[in-house]
Amino acid sequence: MRLSGGLKGMMSAALLGAVCWAAPATAEPLRITIEDGVIEPLPFAAPTFIDEGGAGDIARAMTDVIAADLQGTGLFAQIPAGAFISQVTSFDAPVSYADWKAINAQALIVGAVSNSGGRINVKFNLHDVFSDTTLGDGLQFGGGEGDWRRIAHKVADQIYSRITGEGPYFDSRVVFVSESGPKDARQKQLAIMDYDGANVQYLTDASAIVLAPRFSAAGDRILYTSFETGFPRIKLMDLATLQSRAIADLQGNMTFAPRFSPDGDTVVFSLENGGNTDLYAMSLSSGQTTQLTNAPSIETAPSFSPDGSQIAFESDRSGNQQIYIMPVSGGEPVRVSSGEGRYSTPVWSPRGDLVAFTKQNGGRFHIGVMRTDGSEERLLTASYLDEGPTWAPNGRVIMFTRESPGAAGSAQLYSVDISGRALRQVPTVGAASDPAWSPLLP
């Protein structure tokens, strides 16, 4: 049964806890700034974490996950163990910085893992080799052994944050649409996985088309569109119970493109009536529905600003798709996209500074970002069909759908950072589309 492995892991998550000491943000000179253009990945050494009892396999596996997290950002380059001059034999032994300088390891991660009766404890130090000192204080995490991947992500998050100054994001999940079957009869089902593709679990069966799941800001619920009734309708799934219910079932109209407000009570969505699509908002607590736009054009793909005061959306009121921003209660929208081509699927960064979007121009699709006033547009990708960006919890990485052309074409998930670096495919079992990134896990 495909769920059993994850079950054990998640059950023991109850025991996961972190013991932290102050980690001062003194970060010079070991520092990477993501906004920089092309940078040389920072070389780091991550000797296999020391087994301090019963944790040999887990220690190795955790070291690999930590290194993969860091390498996957494109900001770090792992130095192979074969190049090491000195070995780390004890967590507390003094570090021979000269040996690590000699192989140009700018960061050295020293860690140790113990496993006592199924409860693992991990501790690590991040060494700034060329400063002959540690970067931040040592830190340890404890949890059930089924949580070893999550704990490894938390260690990697700490290292990433200390060196980049950015928020963490590795310990997060992604809900997406798992696809199978031929192009003209594609089967789709909702699935959820770790951000790196591990621990996949299916949330629905494939009996009806499902589209574009979206997380609540608390990560406890998802909105999505389902054809279960034969017509596209918004559904709300409680991830604690996996129960779904239709919401905003209004006059039998099509409803789609839902998204939560930051406080989780309001759902903004598209409703089609007589061929015309406008934006509506519905309060989940009161059930009250408000029409936000009233235009003969298509208004869809709404997304709240993180402070909940504004909504970005796409409209073809100008003749083709462009991005607009309006106050949360409706009102006159301001167009923010201004370049050539069509702009769609705006998604506000969780940091509030940028809007990610899909751009269609000259027969190509792009994922891009712009400031919320439309300035400083930056295209991050180009392909036959890229669409549907979603932000990592730290607002510095974007995941999206890339579909290849032709009869055998299929969709895959990709990620890229906001400077356009580190474009990579996210591993999934089979085809996948419509990713939505969770908030950082607790």
Partner 1 sequence: MNRLSLMILMVGALALAACNNPQRGFGAGGAGGQGGAGAGGITSGALGDPNDPNSVAYFNQRIGDTVRFAVDQSTLTPEAQATLTAQAQWLNSHPSATAIIEGHADEQGTREYNLALGARRASAVQQYLIAQGVAGTRLKTVSYGKERPLAVCSEESCFAQNRRSVTVIGAGAGV
312's enclosing H/E stretch is strand 310-315
Instruction: Find the binding residues for partner 1 in span 28-87 (CB under 8 A).
Output: none
**Who contacts 209 (Cβ-Cβ below 8 Å, separation ≥6)?**
186, 188, 226, 227, 232
Q: In what order do the strands lie in the sheet with 386-391?
A: 386-391, 397-403, 411-417, 424-426
- Candidate list 275, 285, 362, 375; residue touching partner 1; CB under 8 A: 275
What does DSSP assign to residue 287?
Answer: -
Instruction: Find the binding residues for partner 1 in span 370-409 (CB under 8 A).
Output: 384-385, 387-388, 403, 405-407, 409
Q: In what order do the strands lie in the sheet with 310-315?
A: 299-304, 310-315, 322-327, 334-335
Q: How many residues bind partner 1, per CB under 8 A?
A: 71
To the nearest whole angstrom, how small is the minimum distance from the Cβ of residue 99 to partner 1?
41
Backbone φ, ψ for residue 134 (5° rounding): -90, 155
Q: Is position 22 an interface residue for partner 1 (rule: CB under 8 A)?
A: no
Extract the tokens encoding 216.
Answer: 């609540």
Instruction: Find the binding residues for partner 1 in span 78-117 (CB under 8 A).
Output: none
Residue corresponding to tokens 């130090």: 125
- Candidate list 145, 196, 314, 417; residue touching partner 1; CB under 8 A: 314
Whole-angstrom distance, CA of residue 367 vs CA of residue 373 = 17
- Candidate list 31, 183, 245, 371; residue touching partner 1; CB under 8 A: 183
Q: Cβ closer to partner 1: 38 or 240?
A: 240
Q: Is position 205 an interface residue for partner 1 (rule: CB under 8 A)?
A: yes
8 Å CB contact between 210 and 227: yes
- What distance lies between CA 87 and its chain's CA centroid? 35
Q: Cβ closer to partner 1: 17 or 94?
A: 17
- Candidate list 60, 84, 227, 289; residue touching partner 1; CB under 8 A: 227
The piece of 37-45, 87-95, 232-240, 392-400 that touches partner 1 (CB under 8 A) is: 232-240
Q: Which of 321, 381, 318, 383 is nearest to 346 (CA)?
A: 321
To the nearest whole angstrom, how small is the minimum distance from the Cβ of residue 83 to partner 1?
39
Half-sphere exposure of 49 (CA within 13 A, CB side): 34
Q: Is position 340 an interface residue for partner 1 (rule: CB under 8 A)?
A: no
Q: Cβ closer to partner 1: 28 or 184?
A: 184
Q: How far apart are the first and last CA of the chain?
A: 27
Q: Which of 155, 168, 140, 214 is nearest to 73 (CA)?
A: 168
To the nearest whole angstrom, how small is the minimum distance from the Cβ of residue 152 to partner 1?
17
Length of the chain counted residue by residue: 442
- What Å distances lie between residue 346 and 92, 257, 389, CA to CA? 49, 12, 8
Instruction: Find the binding residues for partner 1 in span 127-156 (CB under 8 A).
Output: none
The piece of 34-42, 156-164, 229-237, 329-337 that touches partner 1 (CB under 8 A) is: 229-237
Q: Cβ closer to partner 1: 208 or 423?
A: 208
To the nearest whole angstrom, how small is the minimum distance from the Cβ of residue 228 to partner 1?
6
Whole-angstrom distance, CA of residue 259 vs CA of residue 214 = 6
Extract the tokens encoding 164.
Answer: 């980049």
- Candidate list 78, 114, 172, 321; residue touching partner 1; CB under 8 A: 321
354's enclosing H/E stretch is strand 354-361
The piece of 157-165, 298-306, 372-380, 414-422 that touches partner 1 (CB under 8 A) is: 298-306
Q: Is position 186 an interface residue for partner 1 (rule: CB under 8 A)?
A: yes
- Candidate list 78, 115, 277, 412; residue touching partner 1; CB under 8 A: 277
- What Å distances lie between residue 268 and 103, 234, 246, 363, CA to CA? 54, 11, 14, 30
Q: Is position 198 an interface residue for partner 1 (rule: CB under 8 A)?
A: no
The piece of 39-47, 129-137, 161-169, 185-193 that touches partner 1 (CB under 8 A) is: 185-193
Whole-angstrom distance, CA of residue 348 vs CA of residue 355 = 5
CA gyration radius, the chain:
23
Q: Cβ closer to partner 1: 117 or 405?
A: 405
Q: Which of 154, 152, 174 is nearest to 162 (CA)?
A: 154
Q: Is position 441 an interface residue for partner 1 (rule: CB under 8 A)?
A: yes
8 Å CB contact between 392 and 398: yes
Instruction: Find the binding residues for partner 1 in span 251-270 (CB under 8 A).
Output: 254, 256-257, 270
To the nearest whole angstrom, how small is the minimum distance from the Cβ of residue 188 to partner 1?
8
Instruction: Find the binding residues for partner 1 in span 2-21 (CB under 8 A).
Output: 2-4, 6-7, 10-11, 13-14, 16
To the nearest whole angstrom, how small is the minimum distance from the Cβ of residue 145 to partner 1?
16
The piece of 27-35, 101-109, 295-303, 412-420 that touches partner 1 (CB under 8 A) is: 295-303
Q: Is position 1 an interface residue for partner 1 (rule: CB under 8 A)?
A: yes
